[in-house]
Amino acid sequence: MKIPRDGKEVVVELEGKAVKLTNLSKPFWPELGYTKADLLQYYFDLADALLPHIAHRAMVMRRYPDGASGKSFFMKRAPKGHPEWVETVHVLHSSGNEIDFPVINDVASLLWVVNLGCIDLNPWYSRTDDLDRPDYLHFDLDPGEASFARVRETALAVHGALAELGMPSYVKTSGSKGAHVYVPIVRGPLQKDVWTFAKKLAWKLAAKYPELATAEYTKAKRPKGRVLIDYNQNRWGSTLASVYSVRPTPRATASAPVSWEELAKGCELEDFRLDNLPARVREKGDLWAPCAPGAPGRFDLAQVKDS
């Protein structure tokens, strides 16, 4: 389907669901000439690869009503008056609030949430049938002032440490500044136990590579020029930008899964963008497929006695 490029309000039919799309010609990256329609087309084109990774998960919306360079705001609750076919999950949040999060299970719901101005997508690590037990252990590699070359080096060090433990790992660019390393795990451990495991491993890696990485979360205490191995994103209710998320950067870069070989050879953040990632996925397939629920080879953390 080709997303209409003009119109104050257009309704498209998807699997019997009427999706209202608005302000399609609104500039979202005016310096690149990309509009809201271009963002919607990107997500429509990648829906088959993307949806297995975000379906059946609470979605934290970050809305950019004025495009990538405008102000944004987080919105957890599904807005009043949302289409009845957009599923929600009722969560008693750690803050004490009761929140009905939207759940993006199909193409219609995907276009609905993007039409709200969500440039990137931020799903929970657990699925709605068991919010306390995540599908992933992961590390957010935040460069701070360090270069992306240092991020690549840190990611490879994390990959090596995980391999020594027999743990499969997959890497994607964050699309913003750093990279994300994921381990698909057998659901079982509580989110707090996954966080504890990740914390121990992050500190061990920081001790092994003190000139490269740090696990110090407090910015004032963090050594300059070190890549933060951020384990705290494994906390209950936290999120990272999903695979294939476009980011509100000047080049409209996107969070792209890459092979470890590509990373070692020196891929760059700006290699993967709104304008070229769909073609890459058509050519190479979904490199993130081993992370999808139901994929074989998930790791059982119970096999590791001491990280």
Task: Specify the pLDDT at position 306.
Answer: 62
Nearest to 256 by CA among 239, 238, 275, 237: 275
Tokens at residue 209, please? 């590579």
Structure tokens, 20: 């209202």
Q: What is the pTM of this model?
A: 0.96
Strands 213-214 and 227-230: parallel
pLDDT tens, residue by residue, 198-252:
999 999 999 999 999 999 988 888 899 999 999 999 999 999 999 999 999 999 9
- pLDDT for residue 97: 87
pLDDT at 85 over 60: yes
262 Cβ partners below 8 Å, 6+ apart? none
Judged by average pLDDT, the poorest of 72-86, 92-106, 184-198, 238-252 is 92-106
Q: What is the pLDDT of residue 205?
A: 95
Lowest mean pLDDT among 15-24, 74-83, 88-97, 178-187: 88-97
- Edge to edge, what strands does the sheet with 59-63 contain? 73-75, 59-63, 118-123
Superfamily for domain range 136-303: DNA primase, PRIM domain (3.90.920.10)
Per-residue pLDDT of 260-298, as tens digits, reads 999 999 999 999 999 999 999 999 999 999 999 999 999
Question: Which positions ≥6 away from 248 have C-beta within 8 Å?
Answer: 64, 67, 68, 69, 72, 119, 120
Backbone angles phi, psi at 171, to 5 degrees: -125, 145
Given this model, what pLDDT does residue 96 score?
Answer: 83
pLDDT at 307 over 50: no
Q: Residue 94: its pLDDT value, please? A: 76
64-71 average pLDDT score: 96
Show me where the domains of the chain are located. 9-123, 136-303
| 9-123 CATH, one of 3.40.50.12780, 3.90.920.10, 3.30.70.580, 3.40.50.740 | 3.90.920.10
Q: What angle do CA 39, 42, 43 make, to 5 degrees?
A: 90
Whole-angstrom CA distances from 107 to 42, 128, 213 are 12, 18, 39
pLDDT tens digits, residue range 15-48?
A: 999 999 999 999 999 999 999 999 999 999 999 9
Q: Do domains 9-123 and 136-303 have the same CATH topology?
A: yes
